[in-house]
Amino acid sequence: MDRQELKAKIMKAFTVALPILLVAILAMLVVVAMKLSDPQFIPTLGGVDDGTTTTTTTGEEEPEPEPDPSSKGLTFISNGDGTCSLDGIGECDDSFIIVPMESPDGDIVTEIASGAFKNCSDIKGIELCETIMSIGSYAFYGSAIREIEIPSTVREIGNYAFAGCKYLTEITVVPSNPNYSSLSGVLYSKDGDVLITYPAGKTENSVIIGREVTEIANMAFYKCSYIKKVTYHGTERSWRAIEIGAGNDVIDEAIIYYSGDYSSDK
């Protein structure tokens, strides 16, 4: 084969291969352009993921973490042992307070401090977290809460914690709580022998008190102005044996009906 013939064959092969090469290059450019236009595609240097970026080519968005629903702006006091007390409303402007399990400093919230929400007219309700172990005296005294649920973790409720809450209609206690119980929205000790708080917002003009009650705590019926009648599931004699604490004038002034068998107490 002479030189001219070889040159002619090379030119012919090049002429055939050039369009194929151009098509391949164009296809590659189209693919690159499509990837670059995908907002989920994030290239990494050298094709190596350094752990700081995420490359997603499927077009599926990664689920974002759930926002923390806990109320912000509340004030806390550290106990110095990794726990703290919720001390007050602070700068929080929520009408329904969701108590966080941890303070902004990382302490576990185990207590609602004494007087934390006393006379607070800005809150209508509150959700206590499962880390709360105690509710201090006067914690919600005179506040505007409508209802509250006591979780199983609460072991102690201080004096007058819910007294004088004129809008409070129901106190519910989780059945697994070892120290407290509730019946018809009324707060009792676990075995029901101590009536601790009758919500002042209840509008019924009568109240039923079981025979198992041996004590009515101080201010249990404070500002319960609707009550005019008490039906006691016992006898007059057993009623007189009940220890009725101070601040329960409405009970002292109410008409008492005894549904028990009087003769059984003689």
Q: What is the pTM of this model?
A: 0.74
Which tokens sit at 244? Answer: 């009725």
Count of alpha carbons within 13 angstroms of residue 14, beta-carbon side: 6
CB 156 within 8 A of CB 178: no
Q: Residue 6: what pLDDT?
A: 52
Enumerate the domain spans of the chain.
Answer: 3-47, 75-265
Q: What is the pLDDT of residue 264?
A: 47
Rounded Cα gap, residues 111 and 42, in angstroms = 47
3.30.499.10, 3.80.10.10, 3.40.50.450, 3.30.2130.10: CATH of 75-265: 3.80.10.10
Please state, in angstroms and rounded to a whole number, the distance separating the CA atoms of residues 210 and 230. 10
Q: Which residues contact 99 (CB under 8 A, 6 or more apart)?
A: 70, 71, 74, 86, 109, 112, 126, 127, 128, 129, 132
pLDDT per residue of the chain (266 residues) written in tens, 0 to 9: 555 665 566 566 556 566 676 666 777 776 666 666 665 555 554 444 555 445 455 566 777 777 888 999 999 999 999 999 999 999 999 999 999 999 999 999 999 999 999 999 999 999 999 999 999 999 999 999 999 999 999 999 999 999 999 999 999 999 999 999 999 999 999 999 999 999 999 999 999 999 999 999 999 999 999 999 999 999 999 999 999 999 999 999 999 999 985 544 44
Which residues, 6+ apart, have CB-to-CB distance to 62 below 8 Å? 54, 56
Angle (CA) 198 199 202, round 5°: 110
